[in-house]
């Protein structure tokens, strides 16, 4: 089978358009195009999107260029329009605002600096939208602002109604043909057989079609609702704003014009706005303009556009336009995303459906021809070839309906759709387990992951940081107590003063009060820990921040690994404050403060002593930072903050404990054949201590720094990467290189975590990019495949478990459906050839199709995962989907069922001792009933492809139980009460029991089959901890 699926192979990420178009062309047998291709990318719309986006970008760039040339002559023209600009509508004026929504929006959209100046700049705009730049918007004004200026939501395509899904289900060509046959059957049947007998056959088909359509539509509609819920979760982005005089975090949807938004590295600009204040703010506008060069934003170039992102620096802006009045909103209104790329399993199962569909079509044609030829031969032998009646027409019509129904059963349209069903179910469950899947393929691919590159802080550790130890003024290390008495008692006033300045001025964390007056610290965990230390030491945050004016700022990022600010001193002069990675900041220092707080030269012996202190803290799993300062003359006017000549103040050790459950989760990964690597920007000794505690680092493993890794040759990479367990002091490009080489050189399926803007390349390169929901920037999240909402490594293991469950559930469903396909095709074909009639009628085959398609997918594709999934090795990148074990089960079950049904078809009346006029009807009903019960019990068998105990965990899967019960109940109704429509007659209790027993025998048959050994390909590589693949198959039963 795998050899026939070459054209149906696509990568999990970044598929080329050529590959996507290739498999679409290869799909030749499709019953319902609108349903089959609903969950695949619309390449035509995607192409239109690119074209439209490019036109908008060109127009936007041309407009900006034109503005630069027209600025000189604009003031005269603007003076003539002053009266127009001042006028506002009565509604806007009554609301207390001094500028119209369209004019306000156009200032930023057109980068109209002269109009902005006319209104008094950012401060003037703030006055006209009635907002205080210090206190922000008042909550009581929000409804009025939304009424005048709009809400921050974009126009979206309305979701499909249930009736739309009913209509799509009706587009199935074979169902349309059956409905036509049914109508013709009724039209011919009433004149020949009378009312109501002449209606039964046709009405039975129409009723079956109606049932198939409704069940299909309900299943598809529920899937769509799940995807809508997940899509809404993806769009939830929180921003920091000033409202009611306090700093708050709110959803971007809740932003209104006038809001004061705080911007930091990695944020996506949530609305159009005007720059108020900030340092080194660089904006990536490539999403709008296509330009890769970042744009500097400052007082003279103050315009910020929605949908762009902060690449560097920090700042504040006042919102001037929201929703559809923004540049981004207008861009989105012209675009249609055309859906995500289809997943590899969806494509592969489209291939399986195409191949089986071709076989089924051939069998259906041959069956129809055999039946027609036999019928014509019989007429010729009876010398009635020239006389035709309506009964003859009905016979031929029934033959055609049977052939069409064989196509319905034979073309497994539900195979690719079962993948979507399973993925939707898994994604919804993962949401409740704190993982948001952004791309369908990630949920599927995660089950094949054999390498996880994880961050340390917040993922393996709790991210709840406190300063545990400090070294200051040349003292021995001091343990920080809850009251801070030890530090204050052993440190002089001058040293404490400079320490508090560094903590309070060089920070992005804030002390905020909620509406109840409760105080809390808002900011990154590391900065919050330092700020908490400053408050513990009785420092006056407000007083220090008011005395010193910040002139320049270089925020922390994963490349610099430090944060610096330049401040003006109250009595004149300038001072630079720096904090960051201990080794980096220490190299910037040539002095230190002594026990009296005075700067003294830093000798080589002292440098070694400080390095020993740093390593001592790190070996205790403490995160180490150095704090330093440098005094400068007032004449200093360099655009960047100095990189050397600092005075070392202190070394702090920050405690960040390993999360509960991480050790067990890492052990589970190792047992599952997954290598876990820690990639962190922290000190190597800290990283090693945490890695050992987490069971990641073993005696034979390699722990290196990024600088060493960068020096390796390609051959070194190939030989040594498998043994890397810890990479410390790494740069974002180190992580990218590790991921790239693991995938390309070692052919590993790699999952990688990331939280910073600079992690975006690695997240895109990995097979599965995992962004942190709490610590992660919006840029990192938008480039990830899965967002770990609680930043917890245990959640990543749950994603792996669900990924494996999706893969194995689809395998179960494929095994079940192919068995039904083979049996239904062969028994109808053989009967047609030998006895001239098919044992299963059109109505009966439609019911079987619903059991194996929609209901089968519901039952098997939605089974929850179990812990034993992590006792198996991951599926290899090149391993075939339909395994040898599956073929063993399919062929074995098909042989048993075909043997039983063939014996009953050809000699059933004698074996069952049936007699009388209804013997034939009883036999066909018994065959139909037996066939259905064979599928019911085989569906239970399919719950586990390898193990004998298929009942384990069955009661935890309520969907499976519900489908089984519903199938049996409906089967009883069809046999006992719908005989006129389904061509059945009521069966005796003995025949019911015998049908169930014959069906149940499939279970011991399954046990025998599972004891037959099947050679497996060994896809697991040697693990760094000595892991050996666990046994699987009958020995684990």
User: Of 350, 427, 352, 432, which Cα lies nearest the Cα of 39?
Assistant: 350
In 3-state terms, what secondary structure has residue 812? Answer: helix
Per the CB < 8 A criterion, the answer to whether 729 and 708 are in contact is no
User: Of 452, 468, 469, which Cα lies nearest the Cα of 460?
Assistant: 452
Could you give the CA distance from residue 620 to residue 609 in angstroms, rounded to a whole number?
A: 17
Could you give the CA distance from residue 568 to residue 104 in angstroms, rounded to a whole number?
A: 36
Q: What value does the CA radius of gyration of the chain take, rounded to a whole number of Å?
A: 36
Per the CB < 8 A criterion, the answer to whether 900 and 937 are in contact is no
Could you give the CA distance from residue 597 to residue 472 in angstroms, rounded to a whole number?
A: 9
- Beta pairing partners, 753: 770
The residue annotated as part of the active site, out of 259, 455, 468, 944, is 455
Q: Where are the beta strands (DSSP E) in 407-456?
A: 435-437, 451-454
Per the CB < 8 A criterion, the answer to whether 751 and 449 are in contact is yes
Could you give the CA distance from residue 293 to residue 286 in angstroms, rounded to a whole number?
A: 8
Could you give the CA distance from residue 647 to residue 208 in angstroms, rounded to a whole number?
A: 84
Task: Kindly state the tokens that stand for 352.
Answer: 């399986």
**Which CA distances in Å does 169 have to 162, 258, 414, 563?**
11, 48, 12, 59
581: left (phi over 0), alpha (psi -120 to 50) or beta: beta
Task: Kindly state the tokens that stand for 728.
Answer: 């410390």
User: Of 554, 186, 533, which Cα lies nearest the Cα of 390?
Assistant: 186
**Which CA distances in Å does 496 have to 167, 564, 630?**
75, 19, 16
User: Of 287, 425, 433, 285, which Cα lies nearest the Cα of 773?
Assistant: 433
Per the CB < 8 A criterion, the answer to whether 557 and 508 are in contact is no
Q: Which residue has the tokens 């005269």?
A: 76
In 3-state terms, what secondary structure has residue 271? Answer: coil
Task: Kindly state the tokens that stand for 484.
Answer: 């801070």
**Which CA distances in Å does 198 have to 182, 191, 203, 618, 1007?**
11, 8, 9, 88, 47
Does the bond joining 400 to the residue before it have cis omega, within 30 degrees of 0? no
User: Of 718, 717, 716, 669, which Cα lies nearest the Cα of 695?
Assistant: 669
Q: Where are the beta strands (DSSP E) in 706-767?
A: 724-728, 750-754
Could you give the CA distance from residue 825 to residue 646 in angstroms, rounded to a whole number?
A: 82
Dihedral of the alpha carbons of 513, 518, 522, 525, in degrees to the nearest 10: 160
Task: Kindly state the tokens that stand for 706.
Answer: 């990024």
Could you give the CA distance from residue 935 to residue 617 in angstroms, rounded to a whole number?
A: 64
Could you give the CA distance from residue 469 to residue 613 in angstroms, rounded to a whole number?
A: 10
Task: Kindly state the tokens that stand for 62.
Answer: 């041309």
Q: Which residue has the tokens 């791309």?
A: 439
Tell me, yes or no, if 455 is annotated catalytic.
yes
228: how many CB neighbours lie within 10 A of its CB?
12
The span from the first CA to the last CA of the chain, in angstroms, equals 28
Per the CB < 8 A criterion, the answer to whether 564 and 506 are in contact is yes
Task: Kindly state the tokens that stand for 64.
Answer: 């900006």
Q: Which residue has the tokens 């026990």?
A: 595
Q: What residues are annotated to the active site?
A: 455
């Amino acid at each position: 089978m795998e050899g026939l699926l070459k054209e149906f192979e696509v990568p999990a990420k970044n598929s080329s358009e050529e590959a996507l178009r290739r498999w679409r062309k290869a799909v030749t047998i499709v019953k319902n195009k609108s349903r089959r291709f609903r969950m695949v990318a619309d390449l035509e719309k995607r192409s239109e999107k690119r074209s439209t986006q490019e036109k908008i970008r060109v127009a936007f760039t041309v407009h900006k260029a034109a503005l630069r040339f027209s600025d000189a002559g604009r003031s005269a023209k603007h003076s003539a329009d002053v009266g127009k600009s001042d006028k506002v509508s009565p509604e806007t004026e009554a609301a207390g605002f001094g500028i119209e929504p369209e004019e306000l929006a156009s200032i930023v959209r057109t980068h109209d600096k002269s109009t902005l100046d006319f209104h008094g700049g950012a401060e003037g705009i703030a006055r006209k939208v009635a907002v205080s730049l210090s206190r922000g918007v008042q909550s009581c004004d929000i409804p009025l602002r939304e009424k005048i200026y709009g809400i921050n939501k974009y126009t979206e395509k309305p979701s499909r109604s249930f009736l739309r899904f009913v209509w799509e289900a009706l587009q199935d060509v074979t169902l349309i043909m059956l409905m036509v046959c049914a109508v013709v059957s009724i039209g011919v049947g009433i004149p020949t057989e009378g009312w109501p007998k002449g209606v039964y056959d046709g009405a039975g088909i129409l009723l079956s079609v109606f049932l198939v359509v409704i069940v299909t539509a309900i299943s598809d509609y529920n899937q769509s609702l799940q995807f809508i819920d997940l899509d809404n979760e993806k769009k939830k982005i929180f921003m920091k704003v000033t409202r009611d005089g306090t700093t708050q975090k709110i959803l971007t949807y809740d932003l209104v014009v006038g809001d004061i938004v705080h911007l930091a590295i990695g944020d996506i600009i949530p609305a159009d706005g005007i720059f108020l204040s900030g340092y080194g703010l660089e904006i990536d506008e490539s999403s709008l303009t296509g330009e890769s060069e970042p744009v500097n934003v400052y007082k003279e170039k103050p315009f910020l556009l929605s949908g762009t992102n902060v690449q560097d620096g920090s700042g504040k802006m006042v919102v001037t336009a929201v929703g559809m009045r923004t540049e981004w909103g207008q861009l989105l209104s012209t675009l249609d995303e055309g859906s995500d790329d289809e997943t590899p399993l969806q494509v592969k199962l489209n291939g399986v459906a195409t191949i089986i569909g071709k076989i089924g079509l051939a069998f259906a044609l041959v069956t129809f021809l055999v039946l027609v030829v036999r019928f014509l031969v019989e007429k010729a032998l009876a010398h009635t070839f020239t006389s035709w009646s309506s009964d003859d027409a009905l016979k031929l019509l029934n033959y055609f309906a049977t052939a069409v129904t064989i196509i319905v059963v034979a073309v497994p349209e539900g195979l690719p759709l079962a993948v979507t069903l399973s993925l939707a179910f898994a994604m919804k469950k993962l949401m409740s387990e704190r993982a948001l899947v952004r791309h369908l393929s990630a949920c599927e691919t995660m089950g094949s992951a054999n390498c996880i590159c994880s961050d340390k802080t917040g993922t393996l550790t709790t991210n709840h940081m406190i300063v545990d130890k400090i070294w200051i003024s040349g003292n021995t290390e001091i343990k920080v107590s809850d009251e801070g008495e030890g530090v204050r008692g052993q440190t002089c006033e001058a040293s404490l003063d400079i320490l508090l300045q560094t903590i309070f001025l060089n920070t992005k964390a804030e002390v905020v009060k909620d509406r109840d007056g409760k105080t809390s610290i808002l900011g990154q965990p590391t900065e919050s820990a330092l700020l908490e230390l400053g408050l513990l030491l009785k420092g006056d945050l407000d007083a220090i921040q008011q005395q010193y004016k910040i002139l320049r700022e270089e925020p922390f990022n994963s490349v610099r690994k430090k944060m610096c600010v330049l401040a003006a001193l109250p009595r004149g002069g300038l001072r630079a404050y720096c904090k960051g990675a201990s080794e980096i900041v220490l190299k910037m220092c040539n002095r230190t403060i002594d026990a009296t707080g005075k700067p003294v030269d830093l000798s080589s012996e002292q440098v070694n002593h400080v390095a020993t202190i740093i390593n001592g803290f790190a070996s205790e799993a403490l995160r180490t930072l150095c704090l330093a300062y440098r005094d400068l003359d007032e004449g200093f006017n360099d655009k960047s903050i100095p990189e050397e000549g600092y005075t070392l103040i202190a070394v702090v050790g920050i405690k960040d404990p390993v999360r509960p459950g991480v050790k067990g989760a890492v052990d589970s990964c190792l047992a599952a054949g997954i290598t876990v690597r820690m990639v962190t920007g922290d000190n190597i000794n800290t990283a090693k201590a945490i890695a050992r505690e987490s069971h990641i680092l073993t005696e034979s493993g390699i722990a290196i720094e990024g600088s060493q890794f960068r020096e390796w040759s390609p051959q070194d990479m190939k030989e040594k990467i498998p043994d890397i367990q810890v990479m410390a002091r790494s740069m974002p490009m180190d992580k990218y290189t590790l991921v790239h080489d693991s995938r390309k050189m070692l052919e590993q399926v790699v999952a990688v975590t990331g939280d910073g803007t600079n992690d975006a390349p690695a997240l895109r390169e990995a097979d599965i990019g995992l962004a942190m929901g709490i610590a992660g920037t919006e840029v990192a999240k938008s480039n990830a495949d899965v967002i770990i909402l609680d930043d917890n490594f245990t959640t990543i293991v749950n994603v792996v478990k669900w990924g494996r469950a999706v893969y194995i559930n689809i395998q179960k469903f494929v095994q079940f459906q192919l068995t039904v396909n083979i049996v239904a095709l062969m028994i109808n074909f053989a009967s047609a050839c030998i006895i001239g009639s098919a044992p299963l009628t059109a109505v009966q085959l439609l019911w079987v199709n619903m059991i194996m398609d929609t209901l089968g997918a519901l039952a098997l594709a939605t089974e929850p995962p179990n812990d034993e999934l992590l006792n198996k090795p991951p599926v290899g990148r090149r391993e075939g989907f339909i395994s040898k074990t599956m073929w063993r089960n399919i062929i074995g079950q098909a042989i048993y069922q075909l043997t039983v049904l063939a014996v009953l078809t050809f000699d059933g009346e004698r074996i069952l001792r049936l007699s009388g006029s209804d013997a034939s009807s009883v036999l066909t009903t018994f065959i139909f009933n037996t066939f259905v019960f064979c599928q019911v019990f085989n569906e239970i068998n399919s719950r586990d492809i390898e193990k004998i105990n298929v009942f384990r965990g069955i009661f935890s899967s309520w969907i499976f139980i519900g489908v089984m019960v519903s199938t049996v109940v409906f089967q009883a109704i069809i046999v006992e009460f719908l005989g006129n429509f389904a061509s059945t007659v009521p069966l005796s209790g003995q025949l019911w029991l015998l049908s169930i027993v014959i069906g149940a025998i499939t279970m011991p048959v399954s046990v025998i089959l599972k004891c037959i050994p099947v050679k497996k390909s060994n896809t697991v590589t040697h693990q760094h901890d000595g892991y050996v693949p666990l046994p699987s198959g009958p020995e684990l039963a």
